[in-house]
Amino acid sequence: MNKLYDAAQAVNSRSAGFAPDRSMSSQDLVHAVLGDITLDLGFGGRGCQSSHLGTTTCNPADMDVGLLLHEFGHHFDWGLGGGPSADLAEGEITDTAGNHVTGKDPDIEDFQRTFSGYRCSSVPCVYAGKKHPQWNTPYEDFADMYSNWTTRGFADDIGGAGSARNIWMEVHMPGWLAEIFGP
C-alpha cells in the first residue's frame, strides 16, 4: 500500500499551504480535500475505475501513484460538484503563442483536449489517453491535470502548454480549496 501512501502524501504536500488551520494533521487534510474514498483492489480490468463519488476499484498490478492521483482528481472534481471540470470545459487554455491546449476550442465551439503540455500522451504521463473511451472530455483531462499538478509532472516549457496547464491549476486551486476549507 506504499503507492497509496505516496499518492496521499503528494496531495497533502501540494494542498497543505491552502489550509487555514496549519495544525491540521495530514490525514485530516487529505480527507478534507478528497472526501471519503474506499479503494477496492478487486478490479479485474486494466487500471482503475472510479464510477462515483467515494469509490475507486483498481487492479493492483496496474496501480501506480500517477494513476491513483488521476482517480483522486475525479473525486476532487466530484466533491466540488463538478466545478473544476466545468471550469475546464467553459474556459480555454492556450500557450503564450495562442495555440489551443484544452478547454473550449473557439474553432469548433466545443470542448477539445490535446495532449500538449504533458510529457507524453499515454501512461505514465496521462491515464486517459486516446484508448480511453472518454478521453476527450473535461472530466478525464481534469483528472490527468490533477495528477500532473500534484506530482509537478507537466512539461517544463516556459510559455508552452505544460506551463499553461500548470498555471491554470495554480490560478484555480486557491478558489477550489477555499470552497473546501473556507476562506
Q: Name the segment binding Zn ion (CB under 5 A); options: 5-13, 107-115, 124-132, 162-170.
A: 124-132
> 3-state class of 173 per DSSP?
helix
Residues 107, 92 contacting (CB under 8 angstroms): no
Q: x/- contact string, 125-154, with Zn ion (CB under 5 A)?
A: ---x-----------x--x-----------
Write down the least CB distance from residue 67 to Zn ion, Å: 9
Q: Between the CA atoms of 15, 95, 84 and 177, what dihedral angle is there, to the nearest 10 degrees?
A: 30
Instruction: List the grid coordinates of 117.
Output: 503540455
Write down the least CB distance from residue 18 to Zn ion, Å: 24
Smaller CB separation from Zn ion, 12 or 147: 147
Smaller CB separation from Zn ion, 29 or 63: 63
Instruction: List the grid coordinates of 144.
Output: 490527468
Q: Are strands 92-94 and 100-105 parallel, antiparallel or unpaired?
A: antiparallel
Cα 161 from chain centroid (whole Å) = 16
Alpha carbon distance 76, 114 (integer Å): 22
Q: How many residues belong to the site for Zn ion (CB under 5 A)? A: 3
Residue for grid cell 489551443: 100
Write down the least CB distance from residue 92 to Zn ion, Å: 22
**Nearest residue to Zn ion on Cβ basis:** 143
Smaller CB separation from Zn ion, 128 or 164: 128
Write down the least CB distance from residue 79 to Zn ion, Å: 15
Query: Which parts of this chain interact with Zn ion (CB under 5 A)?
Result: 128, 140, 143
